[in-house]
Amino acid sequence: MNTTLIVFVVLYLVGTLAIGVWAGTRIKNTSDFAIAGRRLPLIMVVTTTFATWFGAETVMGIPAKFVQSGLGAVIEDPFGAGTCLILVGLFFAMRLYKQNLLTIGDFYRQRFGKGIEVFCSLAIILSYLGWVAAQITALGLVFNVLTGGAMSETTGMIVGTLAVLVYVVIGGFLAVAWTDFIQMIVLVIGLSIIAVFSAELAGGGSQVMAMAASKDLFKFLPEPGFKEMAFFIAAGMTMMLGSIPQQDVFQRVMSARDAKTARNGAVIGGVSYILFAFVPMFIVASAVVVMGQQALDLAQNDYQRLLPTFVLSKMPLVMQILFFGALLSAIKSTSSATLLAPSTSFVENIVKNLRPHMSDREQLLAMRWSIVVFAALVLAYAVAMKGTPIYDLVSSAYQVTLVGAFVPLLAGLYWKRASTQGAIFSVGAGIAVWVLFMPQVSHLGEAFPGQLAGLLAAAVGMVAGSLLPQWLKNRHDSHRHLVGTPPAHPQPHQHSHSHPRGH
């Protein structure tokens, strides 16, 4: 156990708490708490967008999958996740920003009514369970590794959750944005230096690239078959489209000082994320060159420990401090964002429907309490799911929003004929088909991916539900005309007979 390293980590955690407390003094209302009062400049929108995605799985999960199976195995994240932010910037950010909403659930209410608002908000809130649990699991692992096993993973989870919870509850999104800004500087500088040092340990970057090429790790596309391509596309689309109707992404869009900043921040954040996700992949590939079979065994059996083991066993103290600073930055930035997002959605879109006359002060207090309750639930879930790989916890989180919330958002913004009935059909069909394809229900999911089937069903439901009533009405009207039933409303020429001719 390295006492100096632990002291640096503790000081770093205390520093982020201090920022949260400072930000808390600037919180005056729910808009400040939920979306930083819509005042953030471009650089902070970029860093906080990038930070939301750059979490535990980017540093530990993605690289291990890459060294096991190549680029094709990480289509979901970073490629799908980064493309999600780019799509948000190009097609959603400006349209949503101009509507001046507090949560993504507000859009569903304004466009389709309270029923869709509540259902989509619940789907979004539930999708965060796996995502936040992954970050808390990683925090537990980090503290366990740092203390040489003196602190158990469960205790580490509790300590890590409290460390994040304090500054989020006090400072809200303003605290998240400021800590993200500082943590991303630490992350980018720290991992970049470690990548250079890793290359030196491996005998140069060319050695690392040669190893990756020899193991065919740069292969991206699957074998050219219908089933293989369907599952490949489904994996990419899960986070690419399923993450678009998410409150944490929406908060970053709405926190910008203007619509153009919202658009540019999301696009730059997405591109930056895809590019920088290659840095931890490179570091782990270097670990395979340096550690040989030991690294591959760790990647196979306990990949979450591969990078920490490489850094602690092969690098000097300065590099260890940089690495754990960067790793904690990645995890804390993601967990803070994903604790705040579902809590604000819950109060704005669920509680306010039950208590519509809440004052702004009461709403702010409710948001803070809901963060505490949600954190406790997620902590319990993370402890119960201990042993589940971080990457799996994250990738399964977004299927429910993909099949239940994406199509109503897209159609609501871009299709004028999209109706409330269409949204109900879309949500119902998407969820029903997705459940039908689950392995616990049937074997259909072995032949075709359930989330893709659910997405297609949701699209059909939206079109059918929106157009069917109009088609039935037209058909009914034409049928009445054919059988000679007089029209319900008098025609204009009938009015003329009721007036004197000379009028």
Residues 112-171 have pLDDT tens digits of 999 999 999 998 898 888 788 888 888 898 898 888 889 999 999 999 899 888 888 988
User: CA-to-CA distance for 62 and 79, rounded, in angstroms?
Assistant: 11
DSSP of 17-75, one letter per residue? Answer: HHHHHHHHTT--SHHHHHHGGG-B-HHHHHHHHHHHHSSHIIIIIHHHHHHHH-GGGGI
DSSP of 369-425, one letter per residue? Answer: HHHHHHHHHHHHHHHHTTTS-HHHHHHTTTHHHHHHTHHHHHHHHH-TT--HHHHHH
Residues listed for the chain: 503
CA distances from 186 to 96, 151, 286, 328, 334 (A): 31, 25, 21, 10, 14
pTM: 0.87
pLDDT of residue 31: 86
pLDDT of residue 302: 76
Q: Which residues contact 356 (CB under 8 A, 6 or more apart)?
A: none
Rg (CA), the chain: 26
Residues 403, 455 contacting (CB under 8 angstroms): yes
User: CA-to-CA distance for 244 and 90, rounded, in angstroms?
Assistant: 12
pLDDT of residue 488: 52
3-state helix, strand, coil in the chain (%, to 5): 80, 0, 20
**Is 479 in a helix, a strand, or coil?**
helix
Q: Which two tokens stand for residue 427?
A: 């949500």
User: CA-to-CA distance for 175 and 40, rounded, in angstroms?
Assistant: 12
HSE at residue 45, side-chain half, CA atoms within 13 A, is: 30
Q: The tokens 């949600």 sit on which residue? A: 374
pLDDT digit string, tens, across residues 384-439 = 887 776 666 666 678 889 999 999 999 999 999 999 999 999 999 999 999 999 88
pLDDT of residue 494: 45
Q: Which of 305, 251, 5, 306 is nearest to 141 (CA)?
A: 305
Ranges of the chain whose pLDDT falls below 70: 1, 389-396, 481-503
DSSP alpha helix (H) spans, 54-152: 56, 62-69, 81-87, 93-97, 104-112, 114-146
pLDDT of residue 483: 66
